[in-house]
Amino acid sequence: MTVATTAVLLPMPLPTCFDYRLEGEHAAAPPPLGSYVVVPFGPRRVIGVVWERGSARPVAEARLKPIQAVLGQPPLPAALRRLVEAVARATVTPMGAVLRLVLSTPAAFEAEPARSVLVPTGAGIKLSAKQQQVLAAFAAGGPQPAAALARAAGVSAGVVKTLVEKGVLRSETVAQGLPDPPRYQPPDPARLTPAQARATAELLAALDDGSGGEVLLEGQPGAGKTEIYLEAIAATLARGRSALVLLPEIALGAQWLDRFTSRFGAEPLLWHSGLTALQRRRAWKLAAAGRAPVVVGARSALFLPMPELGLVVIDEEHDTSFKQEDGVIYDARDVARRRAALQDARLVTCSATPSLETQGLARTHITVEGSFAATSKPVMALVDLRRDKPLRGSFLAPALRQALASALEQGEQAMLFLNRRGYAPLTLCRACGFRFRCPNCSAWLVAHRFGQRLTCHHCGYGQHQPGHCPDCGAVDSLAVSGPGVERVQEEVRALFPEARTALMTSDTVTSAARASSLVDAMLQRRIDILIGTQLIAKGHHFPDLTLVGVVDADIGLAGGDPRAAERSFAMLYQLAGRAGRESRPGRVLIQTYLPDHPVMEALAKGDRAAFMAAEQEERALSGMPPYGRLAALILAGPDANQVKQAARNLVRSAPDHPNWHILGPAPAPLALLRGRWRERILVKSPPDPDLPDKIAEWLKPLRLPGALRLQVDIDPQSFF
């Protein structure tokens, strides 16, 4: 007699499914494809998904283990199963590792805890006015916990407690179910300017024409792109489909949520790393049950099992944080394109500075003309640090100092940008030249004045700053070199002691609540000068901010990144868009030692189109993305010589594909990272959709020593 089996994919870094035996009720009624099941795997019990394909090789019936339970969650839709397979293939990653992104919240499969609620007993006694309010609140809202009933009635907890003691209310334990989806209010065309209304009509027409494809929504900062795609969300909801909005940072969420709530009258479902375990469990369940009409989140929200997805929006599409650099290395923009196609959903990418790749892939381009509120574009000027030199020991040129003083005198707010955290990037000994280096990485330790610590921003290593040189023993000989945002804040405080300053970096903005608090402080004029890293360039709207100063615009131009110029331009252009967004004119001062660089010249002229045309031509001539493809293979291990030898052997085994150029192996720019030595191999090819398959075929026979790890990054975005 043949044993009934089914294939199960497990959320582990394994390339294939495993066959399991069906017994009893499971054999009589096999679980449908996509069902979540509990199966034994070694000594553990693991939640997996019933899949279409069996194991790679047959297993003797006697060795087959049985499925232990079928869980009650709605099955994983076929479109998401195909997405797991597509992402695994495109990233040269085991399917099980990708499935782990979908099953990121194992607690979501646990039953909701029961809760205690109060219900009337029907006892007939005389009630006070406040006690009658409690019963009225019950009639309106049904059984509720004591605290919730008191809030709904507008009375103290003591009033509810008295009703329980008198026997008017009694406690019952009930199973806690999922809440109903929120009700969003219909459109209000009066909210839109004429330019926004025209762009909205174009967007809705492009989404409704049935031809699919990506729509790019472009416009200068402050043009109202968010308001426009919110109308596309409303149209999607009207069709009974759900919408997913991806934002690059949780710091962008505070003002975005205010806009969304103002437009729809209720909040969306949130998904990001700052959620508590309880919030993540509830959010995953709501998404899987189809009770989350709108989800807004970080890139990982792409793997939520939303069954009726009809629209995906990627806001600030150009942002580098959409690329996942650890574990499964994927680009959220590519995953969004695949998911939209698999679920017959529409994709809208949105940016004031869309990347060259997205411009080439978009089927429809819609440009939002003008700015929402500003009377004119901010005036942009370069500060040539070779001529307008800062005073010794300072980092703000006289022109920027004067502009800050003028803004403060007129009661306006200012923003200073430096994409470097901490106090200083390097600490050294003046006596012997010793430099503080991370013991785990080939990187200098960054000085943080607050806490008096030296920290590695790559692995997290830290130590207290000593009072003497650990090499030569000299006392009071340590000096810092270069500025970080903390050092800029120190200089600003010395120049303008009455000004209220604040820092906005990943060190200070560690949660969505902290980001919201900082944004509120700016809006309420409790901050005069905001100093920060790239977080301050992301979508914020501060009506009284008129001056933006870039302390060092040259940082992003160095290195071997083929997108360095485009990214620097995009960041500085976005940053400039924070100034003068209301009635007061804005001004942007950019400090640079390279005023003749194409990025700086384009910024000074405000000519983004000319810059992008030149960048496009240069990339085409060099065969760099999007006119070619790259793949990075990085070998890492604790022994530098072993890593080098393995990298050489890997290059020797490379297939002879036409037009392939293999660069390396060579030490990675960050040759030592978290205690592991790294060698990098870069494959350059013409545009080839089969590049991941060819890389996978090359690596298939590879057998590495146990201590070595190979990381494959298809279409890399970073080159450290």
d(CA 554, CA 523): 30
Q: Where are the beta strands (DSSP E) in 482-577?
A: 501-504, 529-532, 545-550
Q: Which CATH architecture has domain 5-103?
A: 3-Layer(aba) Sandwich (3.40)
d(CA 647, CA 681): 8
The DSSP string of 190-223 is GGS-HHHHHHHHHHHHHHHSS---EEEEEE-TTS
Triad 367, 537, 553: Cα angle to 5°:
105
**Percent of the chain residues past pLDDT 70, beyond the cut:** 96
pLDDT score of 2: 67
Residue 151: pLDDT above 60? yes
Please compute the mean of the pLDDT values over residues 132-154 and round it to a whole number: 85
The DSSP string of 476-492 is T-EEEES--HHHHHHHH
Residue 55: pLDDT above 70? no
d(CA 213, CA 340): 9
Place of tokens 């009624």: 29
Please compute the mean of the pLDDT values over residues 244-253 and round it to a whole number: 76
Q: Same CATH fold, 379-420+483-617 and 189-368? A: yes
d(CA 248, CA 511): 14
CATH 3.40.190.10: does it fit domain 379-420+483-617? Answer: no
* Residue 717: closest CA among 431, 322, 156: 322
d(CA 334, CA 540): 26
Q: Is 188 exposed, middle or buried (0-12, 13-18, 19+ CB in 10 A)?
A: exposed
* Residue 305: closest CA among 75, 106, 107: 75
pTM over 0.85: yes
pLDDT tens for 255-300 read: 788 889 889 989 999 998 888 888 899 999 999 999 999 999 999 9
- Please report how many Cα atoms fall inside a 13 Å half-sphere around the Cα of residue 247, on the Cβ side: 22
For the chain, which residues make up each domain, given as ranges? Answer: 5-103, 115-173, 189-368, 379-420+483-617, 629-714
Q: Extract the tokens encoding 460.
A: 């997290």
pLDDT score of 190: 64
pLDDT score of 72: 85
Say if residues 653 and 665 touch (Cβ distance below 8 Å): no
Higher pLDDT, 369 or 474: 474
* Residue 580: closest CA among 534, 525, 543, 629: 543
Lowest mean per-residue pLDDT among 252-256, 440-444, 501-505 = 252-256
Residue 562: pLDDT above 50? yes
* Residue 481: closest CA among 367, 395, 368, 419: 395
Eight-state DSSP code of residue 144: B
Residue 375: pLDDT above 60? no
DSSP β-ladder status, 501-504 and 529-532: parallel
175 pLDDT band (50/70/90 cuts)? low
Give the ranges where 277-362 is alpha helix by DSSP (H): 277-288, 332-342, 356-361
Please compute the mean of the pLDDT values over residues 71-97 and round it to a whole number: 95
C-alpha pair distances (Å), 412 with each of 158, 440, 496, 522, 542: 49, 45, 14, 11, 11
Please compute the mean of the pLDDT values over residues 333-347 and round it to a whole number: 95
Please compute the mean of the pLDDT values over residues 338-349 and round it to a whole number: 95
* Residue 635: closest CA among 710, 701, 716, 713: 710
CATH 3.30.70.600: does it fit domain 629-714? Answer: yes
Residue 559: pLDDT above 70? no
Give the ranges where 29-175 is alpha helix by DSSP (H): 78-91, 95-102, 129-141, 146-153, 157-165
pLDDT tens for 56-78 read: 567 777 788 999 999 988 999 99
Please compute the mean of the pLDDT values over residues 306-321 and round it to a whole number: 93
Residue 374: pLDDT above 50? no
372 pLDDT band (50/70/90 cuts)? very low
Residue 15: pLDDT above 50? yes
Residue 567: pLDDT above 80? yes
**Percent of the chain residues past pLDDT 90, beyond the cut:** 49
Please compute the mean of the pLDDT values over residues 113-142 and round it to a whole number: 83
Identify the helix (H) or strand (E) that includes residue 475: none
Residue 647: pLDDT above 60? yes
Superfamily classification of domain 189-368: P-loop containing nucleotide triphosphate hydrolases (3.40.50.300)
Lowest mean per-residue pLDDT among 154-163, 179-188, 633-642 = 179-188
pLDDT score of 127: 87
pLDDT score of 250: 58
SS3 category, 333: helix
